[in-house]
Chains A and B, each alone.
Chain A
Amino acid sequence: RKEVEQDPGPFNVPEGATVAFNCTYSNSASQSFFWYRQDCRKEPKLLMSVYSSGNEDGRFTAQLNRASQYISLLIRDSKLSDSATYLCVVTYGSSNTGKLIFGQGTTLQVKP
């Protein structure tokens, strides 16, 4: 079983749609959670951290369910520029040795 699992998609949605991605992780000791964005043939970039209480950044909302070991990302009012691969990332280990474990990513295509 992969440590971080995501539905690879692709998710094809029209502009203005709301789309949600889920991610599950296997290690209950995971400590920190993130969503990274990776554009085609580019490097990953941090989109947002995910907190237990849930957090929002503009059109993006991230939620964490520790009991069920899943993380979600909601994108409202999708834009063409949101087309990318969204990588779910977790860390575990002590605070000074933790490393990032990436999911394979979920691809989003927003169409006019």
Chain B
Amino acid sequence: DAMVIQNPRYQVTQFGKPVTLSCSQTLNHNVMYWYQQKSSQAPKLLFHYYDKDFNNEADTPDNFQSRRPNTSFCFLDIRSPGLGDAAMYLCATSRDRGAREQYFGPGTRLTVT
């Protein structure tokens, strides 16, 4: 089945140790998004790629970076994780920007020790 896949599902990293989360999609969608969701809070958009065009949200910390080497893959890099970065990280795709539906992956739950 076409889908959005995230690896790993659970990631433990140490304070300050760089970590990379990955997302892949078989939907051939143009847009890929990264959201951060903390417990009992709304998903918060960090950035998105429209094809190769990177769009950062104004309040996304510099500590968060992203790469999209091709249509299928997108990575979230956290350069120096802090305790406050522990959260669920959700990758989503949509056919185009402004598309009515986004398709979410299962998420990666990040723990920072």
- Which chain A residues have a beta carbon within 8 Å of chain B's beta carbons? 4, 8, 32, 34, 41-46, 49, 87, 91, 93-100, 102-105
Contacts and interface: CB of A to CB of B under 8 A. Distances in A.
Contacts, number: 48
Nearest to B105: A43
Secondary structure at the B interface, as helix, strand, loop or mixed, is: loop
Interface residues of B, number: 20
B112 to A, nearest CB: 18
A94 B99 CA distance: 11
Contact of A46 (B41, B44, B101): B101
Contacts of A32: 100
8 contacts: A4-B42, A44-B43, A87-B43, A96-B96, A97-B98, A99-B48, A102-B43, A103-B42
